[in-house]
Structure 1
C-alpha cells in the first residue's frame, strides 16, 4: 500500500471513529503527546491534551448512538516527505460540523496524528 493510501485509510478510520466514539481506537490513531486546539469566532481558543480529548469523547453520546449517519470526507492531503503529511478533513460529531487540520507523522506503527487544529463550521439546531 502506498503512503497516500495509508493516509486515506487512517482518515476514513478517523471519520468513522468520530461517529462511533471508541476511545481505544483514538489511542491507535493519535500520538500520546498530541495537542488539540480549536479557534473560536470570538478570538478565543480551546486547547486540549489527548487525555482531555479522550475524557470529552467518553463523556458524550456518540453520533452513532443518536442515530446520525457517518459524515465526513478528506478535502486534501499534502505529503511533504516520506514521514510527514498534512490533511484537511470535513467531519462531524453531530450536531456539530467541523473542519479539522491534522498533522501526521509516520512512526514504526504507521501514520499517527501528531496535532489537530479544528474549527466548528456550524451547529445544527
Structure 2
C-alpha cells in the first residue's frame, strides 16, 4: 500500500478515535492550527468555525465512549494528488450521524487536516 494512503488511513483512525473519545488534544494533533470546520448553519447559510473554537466545543461534549455507545465509523474514500488528499468518512456521535470531507495537505512531510466540511442527520 502507498505510504501516503497508509498515513492517511492512520490519520482517519486517529480522527475516529478522537470522535469516539471526544478527545480535543487528539483532534488537535491531526488538524492544522489554521484549519476550520464548515457546514450549513442553522440559518441555511455557510457556517465556518475556526478549529480552536470547534475544539472548545469538543472539550464540552460527552463522549460516546463515556455513554457506552457502540462505534460506527468508516473511511468511504481516499483520493491523493501529490501533497493534497481528500478523505470522505462517516461516523456517529449519537444521536447524530456525520459524513465529513477532510481536505488534507502534506505539511513538512506530515498529513494534516486543513479543512473539514461536514453534514449530519439524526
CA contact (8 A) 1:16 1:70 kept: no
The DSSP-based 3-state class of the residue aligned with 2:17 is helix
Match of residue 88 from structure 1: 88
In the superposition, the TM-score normalised over structure 1's length comes to 0.89
CA contact (8 A) 2:14 2:27 kept: no
Match of residue 78 from structure 1: 79
Match of residue 22 from structure 1: 23
2-structure distance, mates of 1:94, 1:109: 35
Deviation of the 1:45 alpha carbon: 3.5
- Superposition RMSD on alpha carbons, in Å? 1.6
Task: Please identify runs of 4+ aligned residues in structure 1 that moved more than 3 A.
Answer: none
What are structure 2's unaligned runs of at least 5 residues?
Answer: none
In the superposition, the TM-score normalised over structure 2's length comes to 0.91
What are structure 1's unaligned runs of at least 5 residues?
Answer: none
Match of residue 51 from structure 2: 50
Match of residue 113 from structure 2: 113
The DSSP-based 3-state class of the residue aligned with 2:66 is coil
1:21-55 per-residue CA deviation (whole Å, 9 max, x = no partner) reads 11111111100000111125873333210111111
2-structure distance, mates of 1:33, 1:18: 20
